[in-house]
Chains A and B, each alone.
Chain A
Amino acid sequence: GAGVSQSPSNKVTEKGKDVELRCDPISGHTALYWYRQSLGQGLEFLIYFQGNSAPDKSGLPSDRFSAERTGGSVSTLTIQRTQQEDSAVYLCASSKTDSWMGEKLFFGSGTQLSVL
């Protein structure tokens, strides 16, 4: 596709269930980022991938959160035993490289997660 694609666009789940969010970056983009946007808040960094490796997992809120990226392309963010405070919009972004000088991030439209 032409842009970053995320699925599902909306997810309603019950507290305690596991959820999996998917991100399909722009073809050829080597860097991939996950951010979380809570209502009225800024963009909270979760994790960054360069290729398939994740040199920085420091933003993951707890050990219930994990992410992987296979084939240097699609990434999945998994939240186990969801809690109500996990409710937020989860945004994925990709960029051509991870240049020290900064690269433009292309964001997906996000997954709105609601934990009941």
Chain B
Amino acid sequence: GENVEQHPSTLSVQEGDSAVIKCTYSDSASNYFPWYKQELGKRPQLIIDIRSNVGEKKDQRIAVTLNKTAKHFSLHITETQPEDSAVYFCAALPNDYKLSFGAGTTVTVRA
């Protein structure tokens, strides 16, 4: 099955700085890579996703890049704000419908 590794496990950034979270996956057949944000005590919510035929996608302060050759993808958050503090999960979908998640990154934005 698919194995997704996520780094770092925790990340502390100064407000206004950028945050980068990196993930690697093992199954070359994976074709869909979403990112979910889980605020404290709340449910995970999709913030951005990228498909295998695209190398980069941006949505306001959030961007995701995908390198299929190297089997890794990254989340970039620019101009971080306090409300960006949360746990972020990357995931990869191989051809078995089983969306596999990374272990999560706890992001803390310092005011």
Contacts and interface: CB of A to CB of B under 8 A. Distances in A.
Interface stretch (B12-20, B56-64, B69-77, B90-98): B90-98
A43 B89 contact: yes
The size bracket of the interface on B is: 20 to 34
Given A42-B103, A101-B31, A91 B44 contact: yes
Contacts, number: 63
B22 to A, nearest CB: 15
Given A42-B6, A43-B44, A56 B31 contact: no
Contacts of B1: 58
A108 B42 CA distance: 9
A89 to B, nearest CB: 10
Interface of A: 4, 31, 33, 35, 41-45, 48, 50, 55-56, 58-59, 91, 98, 100-102, 104-105, 107-110
5 contacts: A35-B101, A44-B101, A45-B101, A56-B96, A100-B31
